[in-house]
A and B are shown apart, each in its own frame.
Chain A
Amino acid sequence: MAHDSLLEIKNLMTYFHLHEGIVRAVDGVSFEVRRGQTLGIIGESGCGKSVTAHSILRLVPSPPGNIVNGEILLHRGENGNEDGFVDLAQLDPRGADIRAIRGAEISMVFQEPMTSFGPMHTIGNQIIESILLHQEGVDGSEARELAIENLRRVGIPRAEQIVDAYPHQLSGGMRQRAMIAMALSCSPRLLIADEPTTALDVTIQAQILELMTALQEEYGMAVIFITHNLGVIAEVADEVAVMYLGRIVEQAGVNELFDNPQHPYTQGLLNSIPHIDEAKLARLRAIEGVVPDPYDIPSGCAFSDRCPSFMPGKCDSAMPDLAATGPEHRVRCFLYSEAEEIVTEVADG
């Protein structure tokens, strides 16, 4: 495996066991996050993008959710050193090991800055708590200084006053900045951002995206950026994974993906949105149908019932593999099945 790999996920399956049946929210996802890079995960609701992120930090509520298979390898060793890694999938979700990782080595920014801060404590106290938990030899007043420093770094004006504010006293944009300040307070090596700008206005979204890009350069951390917005993903990601119903259907470098989308679903998504900087179409080219019910996924390829290139007898009989179609491009589709190399299961360690 490449030596600069920070996080490797191999064949992850996270299932929810509900009364109505088993929901295969994440069903065999493999990817790799390299140090300092941004992996964008894009998909519609129910595609498993958030459950993937929650699985990494072991935040999937259990019951009903369970990681039933797969490895989540967090590499700790420096370049070339293969020894230092931990399999997050094997950790006790309530144990000390994962708690030492959450917020320190891997931290997360959520979509709803209002609900992800506790309402009863000041912003400062919540950031200080995280610093005191994870950084040894830091006392209370130093932690407070660090918290103010972090708030200042994410562009919050009057940080020494805001540190004593309660979450409800801040606007949505400021709250999201504070959320980022808290996530970065222990200099994580991986930041998972789950729809961090979806609840914000476009001008505020632009500010937050710029901030995150700048901070990523400054801290040299890797980012998993989850969103449903193709415009946002084009801006922030180095590599993009497109998910549909629990599986990655296409994965490529960001330029390659947007220049040469291969999976019919990716093509459909790109065609269906209005492009503000292109000539206006009389009608949008919508994808037919709706995302199927999670209990009632079509047999064969999950996208087969909506696919314009549907091949009867082939697409509805088996799930295609995620196969390489280029040096940096993998697609899960029978249209490309002549591609020589099959890389579904990452065999080497």
Chain B
Amino acid sequence: MADDSDLLLEVNDLKMYFPIQKGLLRRTTGYVKAVDGVSLSIKKGETLGLVGESGCGKTTTGRCIVRVYQPTEGEIVFHDEGEAVNLNLLARQELKAFRRNMQMIFQDPFSSLNPRMTVLELVGEPLLAHGIARGQELEDRVAEMVNAVGLKVEHLPRYPHSFSGGQRQRIGIARALVQRPRLVVCDEPVSALDVSVQSQVVNLLQDLQSELDLTYLFVAHDMSVVRQVSNRIAVMYVGKLVEVAESEELLRNPKHPYSETLLSAVPRPNPHHAMQRLSLEGEPADPANAPPGCVFHPRCRYMEDICQTEVPELTELTPGRHVACHFADQLQLQGIDYSASMES
């Protein structure tokens, strides 16, 4: 792993349990363990992709990091100019002020913008809220940001309904970036968009990252998109990270059986692609009632006795690659074969 000076964010043993309440007295009868012991770190300027299927806790992880949720347990440390800030220890006011360092881009550009606010108000609101700018200065900064995301100054007095999905997502991006955050949690930022618009927004996010020196946590379910933007990829399954690796390395040479199946399930836009799909039986486990041992064992093709009883720890297999599997060093898993495509 990188030495500390490169780190922007460290998450240690993050847990987010949502209580299940039943009956008249709303007694807590159990917990949905949406995030169950996630540790990760993000370096300055990099993009960490967080992939997994619906319900695996990837969105909750992102929301805990920007403190939309108060996590049940765990430590979130933000490295700010050589100073380590533990977000759990901040008081309300301090946290509010600190929030400008961490912003979020949401999935649905239709429900995440207030329909009664103009683009100027939407993008300017964070500047007002943090007391960063007002009046003419605010308008100038908003106009600059709006230009940077590919919209025009004429758009400022308009309301969200007069924009297409892709343009709305640009407004959402401008709103998140106008206060110059250091870390941006992108929660499925392109999955609600049309195919031809997705690539525009992916390119925009990459351009803005280098222009504004941003660090991304890119949460998504589409492996092809995640690979396009990420330096490293973390694969999540039912509340836990199962593998973290440099992204090309993960694709070429997955070490966790779940990563292997996830890669083989990606539909390839190539009718000649020989089908070697590993069928994954069954469905993801219920995070309220996770199986004992390795959470993936009921669906795993390589399952042994130990997997049913002992939880594998996320351990460093080779430098930079962490895997949570009892047999990570023994299994020969199938990644994506680049031998054919590299010549073209």
A interface with B by C-beta (< 8 Å) = 44-45, 171-174, 201-207, 209-210, 228-235, 254-255, 258, 268-270, 272-281, 283-287, 290-291
Contact = CB atoms under 8 A, between A and B. Distances in A.
B28 interface: no
A261 to B, nearest CB: 11
A233 B160 CA distance: 33
B164 interface: yes
Given A280-B228, A284-B228, A290-B166, A272 B195 contact: yes
A283 B267 contact: no
A273 B228 CA distance: 10
Nearest to B251: A276
Given A202-B223, A272-B198, A290-B166, 5 more contacts: A201-B53, A205-B265, A273-B199, A274-B225, A274-B228
A210 B336 contact: no
Nearest to B54: A201
B182 interface: no
Nearest to B337: A277
Contacts of B198: 272-273
21 contacts: A45-B194, A201-B53, A201-B221, A205-B265, A210-B277, A235-B268, A254-B271, A258-B269, A258-B270, A274-B202, A275-B224, A276-B227, A276-B251, A276-B336, A277-B337, A278-B344, A279-B341, A279-B342, A280-B227, A290-B164, A290-B166
B266 interface: yes
A266 to B, nearest CB: 11
Contact of A234 (B167, B263, B270, B280): B270
Interface residues of B, number: 50
B277 A291 contact: no
A99 B224 CA distance: 42
B188 to A, nearest CB: 13
Contact of B203 (A171, A173, A234, A284): A284
A232 B267 contact: yes
Contact of B199 (A204, A231, A235, A284): A284
A127 to B, nearest CB: 21
Interface of B: 53-54, 164-167, 194-200, 202-203, 206, 221-225, 227-228, 248, 251, 261-273, 275, 277, 279-280, 283-284, 336-338, 341-342, 344
Contact of B248 (A231, A273, A275, A280): A280
Contacts of A276: 223-224, 227, 251, 263, 266, 268, 336
Contact of B262 (A174, A202, A232, A272): A202
Contacts of A234: 267-271, 273
Given A283-B203, A291-B194, A277 B273 contact: yes
A296 to B, nearest CB: 12
B167 A290 contact: yes
Nearest to B201: A286
Contacts of A228: 194-195
Contacts of B342: 279
B207 to A, nearest CB: 8
Contacts of B271: 234-235, 254-255, 258
B32 to A, nearest CB: 15
Nearest to B278: A206
A173 B271 CA distance: 25
B262 A286 contact: no
A264 to B, nearest CB: 12
A279 B338 CA distance: 7
A283 B201 CA distance: 11
Contacts of B54: 172, 201
B268 A277 contact: yes
Contacts of A204: 53, 283
Given A274-B224, A274-B228, A203 B195 contact: no
A297 to B, nearest CB: 14
A277 B199 contact: no
Specify which of B206, B267, B280 lies most central, judged by the most chain A CB atoms within 10 Å of its CB. B267
B257 to A, nearest CB: 12
Specify which of B195, B222, B277 lies most central, judged by the most chain A CB atoms within 10 Å of its CB. B195
Nearest to A293: B164
Nearest to B261: A203
Nearest to A197: B267
Contacts of B344: 278
A231 B221 contact: no
Nearest to B248: A280
Contact of B338 (A205, A209, A277): A277
A235 B272 CA distance: 9
Contacts of B222: 202
A290 B13 CA distance: 43
A254 B273 CA distance: 12
